[in-house]
Amino acid sequence: MNDEAFSKMINNYFDNDYRERGKIKWNGYFLSDHTSALKREAQAQNTIPVKLPSMSLTACQTILRHASANYEFVTVQQNISDADGNLIPNLTGLVDGFSDLGVYVQDTYIKFENIRAVVKEE
């Protein structure tokens, strides 16, 4: 079989016989770990945080500085409500740094004026 006949046969196959399986083909790529992570993330975003007792700014900053110096995880609750009046989800992570007006926790900037409470994670 020469190159031209082979090329014609291949083109004919893709033009007339080949059927793309579409989504079915890609479903196998969604690993159970990935699906589980998506479910956990959705559940975390839909969880309404319990209001922690309000803390003074000085107390919050002390915990944040200590956590930053010792590479400890903290949970920060902000005094910001969503459209339904519930507090936005708490942010847990390492303290990445400070500015004059706020703190970076897990690459997210939080203004000091918005912090309701800070809890050191065990």
Confidence (pTM): 0.63
Q: Please count the residues of the chain.
A: 122
Q: How many domains does the chain have?
A: 2
Please check whether residue 52 lies inside any domain of the structure: no
Helices (H), ranges, 17-71 = 23-27, 32-46, 57-70
In a shared domain, residues 63 and 30: no
- Would you write out the chain's pLDDT as a tens digit for each of its 122 residues? 688 888 888 888 878 877 766 655 666 666 666 677 777 777 766 677 889 999 999 999 999 999 999 999 999 999 998 888 889 999 999 999 999 999 999 999 999 999 999 999 87
The verdict on 64 and 99 lying in the same domain is yes
Q: Which residues constitute the domain of residue 81? A: 57-120
Shared-domain flag, residues 61 and 42? no
Question: Does residue 7 sit in the same domain as residue 41?
Answer: yes
User: Which two three-digit tokens encode residue 66?
Assistant: 């200590």
d(CA 88, CA 44): 11
Q: Is residue 51 part of a domain?
A: no
Query: Where residue 88 sits, what CATH number does that domain have?
Result: 2.30.30.100
